[in-house]
Amino acid sequence: MPTDIATRALVVTLKAPCGGAKTSLEIEAITGIPRRTIDSIYARAIKNGFEPNERPLRIINAWLEDRPRSGRPSKCTAENQELIIAKVSRDRFGREKTAADIAGDLSSQGIEISKTTVKKILKEAGYKKTKPTRKPGLTVAMRKERLNWCIAHRDWSLEDSVCPTTKSSNLVG
C-alpha cells in the first residue's frame, strides 16, 4: 500500500541518527509499515540527497516523492478531451452517439482517436453506458380525451373505481 509523503518523512526522521535512531522494528511498531518498506524509504531518501548527520535535520518532499511511472503517454490532449465531452453534453443527439460515432466525427475533423480512448475519456468524466429514455408526449387529441374522461367521472367514489371480479381472495363460508 502506498504511503503518503508525511508518513515517509516520519519514517526518515525516526530512523535518522539525530531523530532518535530508532530501528526498523521500532518504527514498524509505531507506524504499522513493514520493515522492508521502511528500509527502502530511508535508502531512497539518502540516494535522493538526504543527509542523515546534517544539523538541523532537513527533509525535502522531492527526496520522498515517487518517481514518474513508466508507460506510454496519452496521445489525447486536454483540448481533445474537452472537445469529446462537449460533443456529448451539447444536446440530446450528442448523448445518443456511440463512442465509435464520436471517434468518427473527430476523425473527419483530422483528430485521430480510437473509440476505446473515447470510452475511457467519457468514463473518467463520469458518463455511463446508458441509452437515454424518451417518453412520447401526449398529443392534443389524447389530452382532450383524458380531460373529457375525468370530467365525466369526477363524481366517482372509491367503490365505483374498483373493478368487481368473480374471483375473490376472501373465502366466504
Banded pLDDT at 142 (limits 50, 70, 90) = very high
Given CA atoms 51, 57, 58, 63 in this order, what sign does their dihedral have?
positive
Query: CB–CB of 53/17 below 8 Å?
Result: yes
Banded pLDDT at 40 (limits 50, 70, 90) = very high
Is the pLDDT confidence value at 171 over 60? no
Query: CB–CB of 18/12 below 8 Å?
Result: no
What pLDDT, on a 0 to 100 scale, did the predictor assign at position 155? Answer: 87
